[in-house]
Amino acid sequence: MPTLARALLYARTLRHLRWEQWLYRPLRALQMRRPPRPAPPGAVAVERVRALADAVRAWPTPPTPAVLRAADAVVAGRFRFLNHEEVLTQIDWQRRYVSHLWSYNLHYFDYAPELARAFRATGDVGYVRRLEVLAEGWIRGTAGGRGDGWEPYALSLRAVNWIYALLLLGEALGPAARAAMEESLRAQLAFLQRRLELHVLGNHLQKNLKALAVGGLYFSGRAAESWLRKGSRLLWRELHEQVLPDGVHYERSPMYHALALADFLEVADLLRAAGQPVPEPAVARIGRMAQAFGVLCRPNGTLHLFQDAAQGIAPRRPWLDVMARRVVGHGIPEPAGCLALPDAGYFGWVDAVAGERLLVDCGAPGPAYQPGHAHCGLLGFELDLAGRPVLVDAGVSGYDGDPLREYVRSTRAHNTVSIAGREQSEVWGTFRLARRATVRAADQACPDGAYRFSGACVPYHTRSAIHRRTVERVGGAWKVTDRVTGAPGAPLTSYLHFHPDFEVRAAGRAVTARADRVAVRVEPFGVDDVVVRRGEWGAAPQGWHCPEFGVALPAAALEMRLGAADDHEFGYRIRLVEEGRDA
């Protein structure tokens, strides 16, 4: 994209920014050039540390075989992030391995608590010695505040992981290694306090504040008390800013929702363990997050993949359920019938007996000042039939440099309609969004076991055009009906994406999808042409499902095309086909 055009697109986003972003963006580069100061004076808060250690050791994180295997891999120098493994017997902490995000994961030290738990389960001091070597290598290799590891987001995650490892290991960690890690932690937290990501906000700022709060609980002294006051005060402010009244994290991603829920649960539990107050309004809002998560994920724990969401990153549902019971007094519910998260714009239906589950996306594309994880998926949906995902969202396979980044955010990667081949919102770059689609209507009704959703949205590029959609459950089948007005002569394409397990065969305009013993028939109406695409690259990739970072699976995608939007109804019916019956 030409530099001027990119600048103009960026300028359009400025009106959405919070004042912190206006203030801190120009200072960011200068700020990061300043090296960290020496560690501030202070010591470990001994009495609090005992209580914190008891709390962390009581969390529902048993040393499963998977945890032990992951710890053994790290001891052997094998590091696996984003479904890519590298053997690093000697780590150059200044080098960027594989990708920026992969190297970030290396600096997060998520493996530090895993090594600590493996030691507690087995008594094998090899896990402890490996952590000592890695931590000492990081401290020496990044001295002076150099490298990706001193970016505030990576620093925030690592600081918490180191503190959790210190709490889990206790006296098993050598005195010299413990002293070095604690001195480094004090310097890192002091560095972080002056570099909160107020220019990014969202989940980045939340991680910064969590690190300050946890560090302030672990250490004592004037600096630590400042970290605790600032971290906890601003964290609860961000809780009410970032979590909508219906309990959904405002980036509207089930993955980031689960990550945020875990952070708030952990901090609240640690504050209570240390005898610190947790505001009742904060506890109530965290409770609503737990309730909302029952809508955003299936009972088996798999997430609905709306916005930037992938499996395998956020804490699992059983862990969140136990922690929610511990902190807010109730777990993650399993809703039935109508599903409604109106502030986030998620609506749907669950019939556990029939194994049916629908979730429709009809909400604004993220917070106005931070829409970096938003996709062009308005009026799209995911649908499970016979207890398994059938029609799915594309998910996300990566961020910077990922070849499918443009695709997974695009309109054509979602179960919705494009007008004139344009995107719903003006997406550009890895995390950029300029002019946005707007929601005009969203409503649902559930009379006597039936279901009906109706919604409408307007794309950014044609404000006179309105896409209206109804989704109905009638007689055990589903019917999706679309109508586009205000765009005379514009070609339309309705997209439908199957889970990669399904093989799709076309017979005329109808298609049948089969996986194991489940068969589903889709019968389009009001369209001119139906095309099935799967695993295609080129200028406009199509037919990919990305359930995890680093994973892209070929999956059948239907494109149902109309030559012009003439204000008439079109859509499709979806029904299960009985086993053995000719579809």
346-351, strands of its sheet edge to edge: 337-341, 346-351, 356-361, 381-385, 388-391
How confident is the model at residue 21, as a pLDDT?
54
Using DSSP's 3-state secondary structure scheme, residue 378 falls into coil
Give CA–CA dist 464/486, Å, rounded.
5
% pLDDT > 70, the chain: 92
Q: Quick one: pLDDT band at residue 397, thresholds 50, 70, 90?
A: very high
- In angstroms and rounded to an integer, the radius of gyration of the C-alpha atoms of the chain is 25
Give CA–CA dist 69/64, Å, rounded.
9
Give CA–CA dist 325/322, Å, rounded.
5
How confident is the model at residue 475, as a pLDDT?
80
Residue 172 predicted with pLDDT over 50: yes
Report, as an integer, the average pLDDT of 426-444: 90
* Cα separation values, 465 from 20, 219, 422, 455, Å: 35, 58, 12, 14
The DSSP code for 37 is: P
Report, as an integer, the average pLDDT of 103-108: 96
Give CA–CA dist 445/465, Å, rounded.
25
Give CA–CA dist 302/164, Å, rounded.
26
In single-letter form, the type of residue at position 420 comes to: A
Q: Quick one: pLDDT band at residue 434, thresholds 50, 70, 90?
A: confident
Cα 100–104–105 angle (5° rounding)? Answer: 125
Q: How many Å separate Cα 394 from the centre of its chain? A: 14
Nearest-CA neighbor of 239 among 308, 290, 286? 286
Report, as an integer, the average pLDDT of 214-230: 95
Asked if 484 and 492 touch (Cβ cutoff 8 Å), the reply is yes
Nearest-CA neighbor of 195 among 383, 54, 31, 381? 31
Asked if 451 and 460 touch (Cβ cutoff 8 Å), the reply is no
Which residue(s) pair with 219 in the sheet? Answer: 44
Report, as an integer, the average pLDDT of 499-520: 92
How confident is the model at residue 138, as a pLDDT?
97
Report, as an integer, the average pLDDT of 572-583: 73
Average confidence score pLDDT of the chain? 91
Asked if 450 and 473 touch (Cβ cutoff 8 Å), the reply is yes
Give CA–CA dist 522/93, Å, rounded.
52
Report, as an integer, the average pLDDT of 212-224: 95
Give CA–CA dist 201/235, Å, rounded.
12
Q: Quick one: pLDDT band at residue 241, thresholds 50, 70, 90?
A: very high
Strand 417-419 and strand 544-545: the pairing is unpaired
Residue 9 predicted with pLDDT over 80: no
Cα 358–359–360 angle (5° rounding)? Answer: 120
- Tokens of residue 440, six digits: 């005009």
567 or 107: which carries more pLDDT confidence?
107
Alpha helices (H) in 27-122, listed in sequence order: 28-33, 46-58, 65-75, 100-108, 111-122
Residue found under tokens 């012009």:
564
Residue 11 predicted with pLDDT over 80: no
| From 58-62, 88-92, 149-153, the region with the lowest mean pLDDT | 58-62
Give Cβ neighbours of residue 7 (< 8 Å, ≥ 6 apart).
none
Which residue(s) pair with 536 in the sheet? Answer: 542
% pLDDT > 90, the chain: 78
Asked if 311 and 549 touch (Cβ cutoff 8 Å), the reply is no
| From 34-43, 372-381, 527-536, the region with the lowest mean pLDDT | 34-43
Residue 371 predicted with pLDDT over 70: yes
Residue 376 predicted with pLDDT over 90: yes
The pLDDT tens digits for 298-316 are 999 999 999 999 999 999 9
Q: Quick one: pLDDT band at residue 582, thresholds 50, 70, 90?
A: very low
How confident is the model at residue 580, as a pLDDT?
45
Residue 6 predicted with pLDDT over 90: no
Q: Quick one: pLDDT band at residue 556, thresholds 50, 70, 90?
A: very high
How confident is the model at residue 265, as a pLDDT?
98
The DSSP code for 175 is: H
Give Cβ neighbours of residue 207 (< 8 Å, ≥ 6 apart).
153, 156, 157, 263
Report, as an integer, the average pLDDT of 335-351: 95
447 or 95: which carries more pLDDT confidence?
95
Instruction: Return the C-alpha torsion angle 295, 297, 301, 305, nearest 10.
Output: 180
Give CA–CA dist 12/109, Å, rounded.
38
CA atoms within 13 A on the CB side of 180: 16
Residue 170 predicted with pLDDT over 90: yes
14 or 191: which carries more pLDDT confidence?
191
Nearest-CA neighbor of 216 among 180, 236, 186? 186
Residue 547 predicted with pLDDT over 90: yes
How confident is the model at residue 298, as a pLDDT?
95
Q: Quick one: pLDDT band at residue 30, thresholds 50, 70, 90?
A: low
447 or 72: which carries more pLDDT confidence?
72
Nearest-CA neighbor of 240 among 217, 264, 266? 264
Q: Quick one: pLDDT band at residue 34, thresholds 50, 70, 90?
A: low
Residue 17 predicted with pLDDT over 90: no
Cα 392–398–400 angle (5° rounding)? Answer: 140
The pLDDT tens digits for 74-105 are 999 999 999 999 999 899 999 999 999 999 99
φ/ψ (deg, to 5) at 330: -150, 155
Residue 26 predicted with pLDDT over 70: no
How confident is the model at residue 39, as a pLDDT?
67
Residue 12 predicted with pLDDT over 60: no
How confident is the model at residue 66, as a pLDDT?
85
Give Cβ neighbours of residue 554 (< 8 Å, ≥ 6 apart).
500, 534, 535, 543, 544, 545
- Tokens of residue 193, six digits: 């306090």
Report, as an integer, the average pLDDT of 467-491: 93
Nearest-CA neighbor of 427 among 442, 449, 412? 412
Give Cβ neighbours of residue 580 (< 8 Å, ≥ 6 apart).
none
Which residue(s) pair with 346 in the sheet? Answer: 341, 361
Asked if 94 and 147 touch (Cβ cutoff 8 Å), the reply is yes
pTM: 0.92
- Tokens of residue 11, six digits: 């300028």
Asked if 111 and 70 touch (Cβ cutoff 8 Å), the reply is yes
Give CA–CA dist 282/262, Å, rounded.
14
How confident is the model at residue 202, as a pLDDT?
87
Report, as an integer, the average pLDDT of 526-536: 94
> How many CB atoms neighbour CB 461 within 10 A?
16
Give Cβ neighbours of residue 277 (< 8 Å, ≥ 6 apart).
271
